[in-house]
Amino acid sequence: MLSGPAGGVIAGRVLSQLTDTPNIITVDVGGTSSDIALISGGEPVIRTEGTIDGFPVRVAMVDVNAIGAGGGSIAWIDEAGGLRVGPHSAGSDPGPACYGRGGANPTVTDASIVLGYLNPAYFAGGSLILDPALSRKTIEEKIAGPLEISVEEAALGIHRVVNSQMAEGIRLVSIKQGFDRAISLSCRWGAAGRFMRTHWPAI
């Protein structure tokens, strides 16, 4: 159950010890979700029960909060005209529009391309060449046009929305559970982790 993200939390524990930093937020940002956990006092926070596929599981586990916000999360406009991101994801097939595999919906990855956060010629070690024109096209058609803003403003808005969701996930595993100690370091990994730090609101 969330063994991959839990392994990252253990790596965060090691980082906590090496840097003498007792409180760390760990964030694993993948294609479909972000898995957030807390190192408090040098140790991962443990919960005594959880839910797997709707069924209660009463066993000790690392407290990982998974939210539907990742690189493949789809940006869309709700009925009130508000910009939303996720929880639906483009997945790896067809994937974001920039993959050139038929994806027709704008994703966080497409927004990252527009903002220059990703090098389209060296994605996944150069094994997949991304098409920035497709990213711009789908963001223009689905987000920027309807909202009457520029493609760049729309891409920045997508990032701000997804980062706000991650900030709320951080609050859920820390402040809202009574851990009111100052968080002095964030530890990010995963395919999209390095793009998700610039716009985190104050927690």
pLDDT in tens, 42-79: 888 887 777 777 788 887 878 888 888 888 999 999 99
Q: What would the pLDDT profile of 93-114 be if each residue is shown by its tens digit?
A: 889 999 999 999 999 999 999 9
The pTM of the whole model exceeds 0.75: yes
DSSP 8-state secondary structure symbol assigned to residue 128: B
- pLDDT value at residue 56: 83
- pLDDT value at residue 201: 46
Lowest mean pLDDT among 16-20, 31-35, 190-194: 190-194
> Quick one: pLDDT band at residue 193, thresholds 50, 70, 90?
low
CA distance 196 to 203: 14
Lowest mean pLDDT among 3-17, 88-102, 167-181: 167-181
Give the whole-number percent of the chain exceeding pLDDT 90. Answer: 34
Per-residue 3-state assignment (H helix, E strand, C coil) for 130-192: CCHHHHHHHHHHHHHHHHCCCHHHHHHHHHHHHHHHHHHHHHHHCHHHCCCCCCCEEEEECCC
**pLDDT reading at 202 higher than 60:** no
Lowest mean pLDDT among 23-37, 107-121, 173-187: 173-187
Residue range 77-93: mean pLDDT, rounded: 91
**pLDDT reading at 203 higher than 70:** no
Evaluate whether 34 touches 195 at the Cβ level (below 8 Å). Answer: no
